Amino acid sequence: MRISLLAALGAFVALAAPGLATAGPGLVVGAVEDDVRASTLLEAEARMASLRLSGFRAVRVTSYWTPGLTQPSDDELRVLRNVGDAGLTNGIRVYVTVMSPGSRTTPLSDDERAEFASYAAAIVRSAPSLEHVIVGNEPNLNRFWLPQFSPDGTSAAPAAYLALLAQTYDALKAVSPEIRVYGGAVSPRGSDRPGGSRPTHSPTGFIRELGAAYRVAWSPRSHEQGAPADARDRIVAGGGGGDLPQHGPSS
């Protein structure tokens, strides 16, 4: 099994169960590894057992939303149930990143955000053993989210991502208030140059603009008009090289 070490994932540290920690109190060592996805529970349990023997106590897998989908395919749901159940049996906490394959499928419209949120909710509804969901992947990069900036050069991606995060949060919490929702999932790289050949946000710039959009959207006035009290349980920061997950989008 090829194991990709997770260099920095804030969720693993912030919510780690001390009893599972091997590197110190409150720290769980995890991996970004889609190889644990398996079509049978027996196979998934074998892969999870191998992961645990390697010293890992958490793993992050991916599931792709594409425009038009409101729930994963039956095959995808079966795989995710296997992963969640195998993780539970082996004491491995499973994080599921729900994401679009790339910037060409950025969920920007109301309909697309509703589809994405429905897709994420269908996962946790079908697989109750999955309780940790990361919304999106590296939205500060043009590889995964466009547009990053408006034509006048002002920041655009953070506010648009916040709208997706908030709607997905509500959909997941409607399935179970125990679901942990993780937002941000930013890349450690970015330039903050709207006119550059590769327009991206730095992680600090993206989070700053995300906070500004949050304050506007969840001002006392907007809260009175029905905005949710929060949009995420934790902020996630990725430390890998921005590699794409290993498996392709479900058909």
Distance separating alpha carbons of residues 178 and 172, to the nearest angstrom: 9
Give CA angle at 165 (162, 169), nearest 5°: 140
**Which pLDDT value is given to residue 220?**
60
CA–CA separation, 104 and 198 (whole Å): 15
C-alpha separations of 62 from 107, 151, 172 in Å? 17, 32, 16
CA distance 208 to 199: 17
SS3 content of the chain, % helix, strand, coil (to 5): 40, 15, 45
pLDDT at 24: 57
Q: What's the CA gap between 200 and 193, in Å, rounded?
A: 7
**106 Cβ partners below 8 Å, 6+ apart?**
100, 144, 145, 146, 160
Domain boundaries, the chain: 10-237
SS3 150: coil
What pLDDT score does 22 carry?
Answer: 44
pLDDT of res. 196? 86
Q: How far apart are the first and last CA of the chain?
A: 25
Which residues in the chain show pLDDT less than 50? 1-22, 223, 225-226, 229, 239-246, 250-251
The pTM of this model reads 0.82
The DSSP result for 224-241, as a single string, is: HTT--S-S-SEEEE--S-
Predicted confidence at residue 175, as pLDDT, reads: 97
CB 189 within 8 A of CB 199: no
Tokens standing for 44? 């998934």
Do the beta carbons of residue 106 and residue 100 sit within 8 Å? yes
Question: What angle, 0 to 180 degrees and rounded to 10, lies between the N-to-C axes of helices 110-126 and 74-90?
Answer: 50
10-237: in CATH 3.20.20: yes
Q: Decide if 124 contacts 84 (C-beta within 8 A).
A: no
Print burial letters for 92-121: b (CB count within 10 Å at least 16), e (below 16): bbbbbbbbbbbbebbbbeeebbebbbbbbb
Closest CA to 234 of 141, 137, 133, 146: 133
